[in-house]
Amino acid sequence: MSQILQLFILLPVVGFLAGLFVPRKKERILSGISIATIGLQTLGLLTFVVWWLTNRAPTLDIKHIVLYKSPEFEFFIDFYFDSITAVFALVGAVLTFLVAVFSRYYMHRELGFKRYFITLLLFYIGYNLVIFGGNFETLFVGWEMLGISSFLLIGFYRDRYLPVKNGLKVLSFYRLGDICLILAMWMSHHLWHKNITFAEWNQPDVVLEAFQGHYLQAMFIVVMILIAAAIKSAQLPFSTWLPRAMEGPTTSSAIFYGSLSVHIGAFLLLRTYPFWQHETVIIGIIIAIGLSTSLVAATIARVQSSVKTQIAYASIAQIGLIFIEIALGWHVLALLHFAGNAFLRTYQLLVSPSVLSYLVHDMFFNFIPRTTQATDTLFQKIKQAVYVLSVKEWNFDYLLHRYLWRPFKWIGRKSGIMGPRWGLASLLALFVVGATGFSLKEQLHFEFHQYLTLLFSALALAMVLKAFAEREDAKHAWLTALLSQFFSALSLLWNKDIAWHQTGIYLSGTVVAAIIGYICLHKIESKEGEISLHEYHGHSYEHPGIGLVFLLAALGFSGFPITPTFLGIDLMFTHISANQIVLVVLTGLNFLFLELTILRIYSRVFLGQHKKMYHPVAFKSS
């Protein structure tokens, strides 16, 4: 029975690969492949769940394949199936199938018809990897796919300004959640000295031993999981990304941000519940987050002028209640609540264009102005204050930008070390000195190793932030980001006895992807004259082939699981000790801003309104 779990991952992959070879004008074939793939998945799941229930619903766990193994680390793919997986898998399959059928007509004759269905299948692959994942590594592969497919579908109308801008904004929050999940994986490796599975987390003695012997490390894992879940499910204070994500097609908004993707945070809490179920502090924090989110999101939803924004905040409010149900241990209710909320929001979003047209017509003919005068009482003042705050979405978007992202941009702009007077050549010389001096490592004092480790890691972060804040030359930003990864690898070489080939695993994928990306940028510059990052150029309109190759290079560069870079990132973190908090923070921030930098370059050069005025100019928002 356990072996069948692999088919639920392989079937969407086969559909995804088949769709790549179909010409974009063959709409019937493209949509037919997607509908047939997801339909077969739905029928297969229904049959499997019935079979599973008749066999008394055993918990299934299968170690599928080992991707890398060393004396201190093993990276393997593990699949897991229980009642939580069953509910999320069935709801996901049915809703994705319905949306795929609806999209066949809704997206008819759109220029990006093929791109939409290919990205939808990529999302479905990632969703299945998350819910069938039996360990953090497998779950994280799907987690990354969900983030990238979200970015691509939010910016689906790539000839418009706001969809592309909001795609990057949503990606920045997703990437913050990714780093929190990586840190949870990092600490779990040090806590158990192995790649632990969720089946082992369900064993009370394993959890008890972790909290009794290493309480602070165990709490660190729980806090990182909680932050990642709150970001993924748009809980306070990270709620504002969800309405911005509605810039994509209505069908993708329905399946992503109304039903499935937005509930992944709740799924993560359900999956890890055995680990933190006895921690009263964590339970209290989750209840506080869920309750405050429900109250604030409900007030915001009542005053928004956009129907998509209203539905988004209504969904956030319900997910806050689901968080409370999970914290209190009411998991059956939470699963029922998830299914009901997912189906309702999908329906609301799919019919929202028709409902909006009807309401506008109704208001035009049946509007009745208010006749009563408002009294100037304390209650009325409080009500008006809440109304204004709700219209402004409680300023969470501004506060996060001001106090979370703007300081890093300021540091990047002030990082003159990568300026013209020193330049990339001097930094490259510094790297060569650090690498050649590595042969003298055994002759130097251990504390000196630690200072060099922090120095090189800080330089790597400074370079990434400089590339992140770069506004002039895309090629310079690209090379700066590449050099930063060499310094990041060098810092870990000085840190511990890491094997050269393990560092090579990370740098091999990074270097190959960076070279391909640089060639693409050079070709665009030679054809178009300049590729500054002051504005969006929209070069994918006239150079779609180069844009696609550059996107693949950017994904490989930033650690998407299509190159060894993804495995290398996990290996790099494994060689950071549990007590090296400063180093892990610097390294985590490095990887956080690396992906944002790389995809920002892609967005600025290839997406947005075309710089040539003879192309049509689209509306700012969809």
Distances (CA, A) of 17 to 33, 122, 140: 10, 10, 21
Give the C-alpha separation, 590 to 594, whole Å.
Answer: 6
- pLDDT of res. 136: 87
Report whether 323 contacts 267 (CB < 8 A): no
- pLDDT of res. 390: 82
Residue 444 has pLDDT above 70, yes or no: no
Residues sharing a CB contact under 8 Å with residue 432, sequence separation 6 or more, in sequence order: none
- pLDDT of res. 374: 61
Average confidence (pLDDT) over 173-201:
86
Q: What is the pLDDT of residues 121-135, one digit of tens each?
A: 999 999 999 999 888
Residues sharing a CB contact under 8 Å with residue 387, sequence separation 6 or more, in sequence order: 303
- pLDDT of res. 384: 81
Report whether 573 contacts 502 (CB < 8 A): no
Give the C-alpha separation, 375 to 377, whole Å.
Answer: 6
Residue 615 has pLDDT above 70, yes or no: no
Tell me which residue has tokens 């632990």.
Answer: 196
Residue 619 has pLDDT above 80, yes or no: no
Residue 416 has pLDDT above 70, yes or no: no
Q: What is the pLDDT of residues 303-358, one digit of tens each?
A: 887 788 888 889 999 999 999 999 998 999 999 999 999 999 898 888 877 776 66
- pLDDT of res. 359: 67
Q: How does the average pLDDT of the chain come out, rounded? A: 83
Residue 360 has pLDDT above 70, yes or no: no
SS3 content of the chain, % helix, strand, coil (to 5): 75, 5, 20
Q: What is the pLDDT of residues 538-560, one digit of tens each?
A: 888 888 889 899 999 999 888 88
**The model's pTM:** 0.90
Residues sharing a CB contact under 8 Å with residue 229, sequence separation 6 or more, in sequence order: 235, 265, 266, 268, 269
- Determine the angle formed by the axes of helices 446-469 and 581-606, rounding to 10 degrees: 20
Residue 68 has pLDDT above 70, yes or no: yes
- pLDDT of res. 101: 92
Count of Cβ atoms closer than 10 Å to residue 405 Cβ: 17
- pLDDT of res. 452: 77
Count of Cβ atoms closer than 10 Å to residue 326 Cβ: 27
Report whether 535 contacts 474 (CB < 8 A): no
Nearest to 38 by CA among 98, 88, 83: 98
Residue 446 has pLDDT above 70, yes or no: no
Give the C-alpha separation, 79 to 5, whole Å.
Answer: 7
Alpha helix (H) residue ranges in 233-263: 241-244, 250-253
> pLDDT-derived band of residue 201, with 50, 70 and 90 as boundaries?
confident
- pLDDT of res. 474: 87
Report whether 91 contacts 85 (CB < 8 A): no
Q: What is the pLDDT of residues 250-270, one digit of tens each?
A: 888 888 887 888 999 999 999
- pLDDT of res. 206: 77
> pLDDT-derived band of residue 290, with 50, 70 and 90 as boundaries?
very high
Q: What is the pLDDT of residues 481-525, one digit of tens each?
A: 888 888 888 887 777 666 667 777 888 888 888 999 999 998 988
> pLDDT-derived band of residue 466, with 50, 70 and 90 as boundaries?
confident
- pLDDT of res. 423: 62
Residues in the chain: 622
- pLDDT of res. 363: 64
Q: What is the pLDDT of residues 22-49, one digit of tens each?
A: 888 888 899 899 999 999 999 999 999 9
Give the C-alpha separation, 472 to 525, whole Å.
Answer: 13
Which of 68-77, 332-341, 369-378 is predicted least confidently? 369-378
Burial class of residue 460, CB neighbours in 10 A (0-12, 13-18, 19+): buried
